[in-house]
Amino acid sequence: MVTAVENLKKQANETALCTRHFDDYSMKNTKITKQINKFLLKNLHQKKKFSAYGFFDIDNSVIYTVFSSIITYLVILIQFKQLENDLTQDAKNGNVTDG
């Protein structure tokens, strides 16, 4: 999903570059020229970003955040599983001490 967003941003920039070349032709003072100029101005001054309903921006940093959270939770789960295995093994061996 993040790569699709990045590709969409790239395509928007490329579209703006392509439409800028229309200005070089002799279409002065036509409705199309005005629309192209309006699009170019809006594209120049508007920052292109996508968000998840305004909560956070969707970009490459989202991938890093999601994967680091997943790894953190996996490490915690593995540690709890090891603790459970150790306690089960100690209970089978009769090494349980009241502490």
Residues 42 and 55 grouped into a single domain: no
Domain that holds residue 25: 1-47
Residues 73 and 34 grouped into a single domain: no
- Whole-angstrom CA distances from 84 to 31, 70, 77, 92, 94 are 73, 21, 10, 12, 15
> Residue 27's pLDDT band (boundaries 50, 70, 90)?
low
Residues 43 and 5 grouped into a single domain: yes
Residues 54 and 92 grouped into a single domain: yes
Torsion sign over Cα 82, 84, 86, 89: negative
Residues 39 and 62 grouped into a single domain: no
Residues 53 and 94 grouped into a single domain: yes
Residues 77 and 62 grouped into a single domain: yes
Residues 18 and 38 grouped into a single domain: yes
* pTM, to two decimals: 0.47
pLDDT value for 20: 64
Choice between 23 and 32, residue whose per-residue pLDDT is larger: 32
Choice between 29 and 78, residue whose per-residue pLDDT is larger: 78
Count how many domains the chain has: 2
The alpha carbon of residue 16 and the mean position of all alpha carbons in its chain are separated, in whole angstroms, by: 23
